[in-house]
Structure 1
């Protein structure tokens, strides 16, 4: 019986390979990447986002973010968000408006980005830091 069990176990290991011997926690252990998070607006390294809700005053609100990732602004604005301007800080940034990420290559670090052709801002769905 033991010989038969050994042969079956050996056949299974040869089929799945040596990865089957590594515990799952060890096999998938990759360094965790920090998520984009809201921070106090205390440093120029952060992404500063100035926005207002529909029917609100331009530049009525501002939030700051750090770390790579994406923030969905529909969470912050019940009736819709309008992006008035943003400062990229030490980040390359994109904004999502009109159901697409803009600009294609992102906005470079340390850029104050405004919308002179759209003084009321653009319809903001999300922001992304690379």
Structure 2
């Protein structure tokens, strides 16, 4: 799925993600924040794949611990995200290997927060926190 090369510099990580597409190679370089332990719903995170510890995947945070989420094709229609976990999904619903396939992700698998796309130049941008309206948690646990 993805291969990556990394360079570190003062808390940021520059990552090349190589995604194989039929008969082509698409290269994206992302800027990651390594030392930030704070994140919120809508942000893009790099997590260690729950099914393959050699692989890192980039997904959007959809729900935090205690939130109730309506799933898309998961074994349960509704899930309350357990303590110490988050619910992550790809932006391509129905074509993404995400929490709808493997369930809530342990915070221990969190690797970094993606902040910018640096390459290819036509995609250069700050990654904006966004969430499709139909993907927000049904119920937020009171803090």
**TM (normalized to structure 1)?**
0.24
**More helix by proportion, 1 or 2?**
1
Larger Rg over CA atoms? 1
**More strand by proportion, 1 or 2?**
2
**TM (normalized to structure 2)?**
0.23
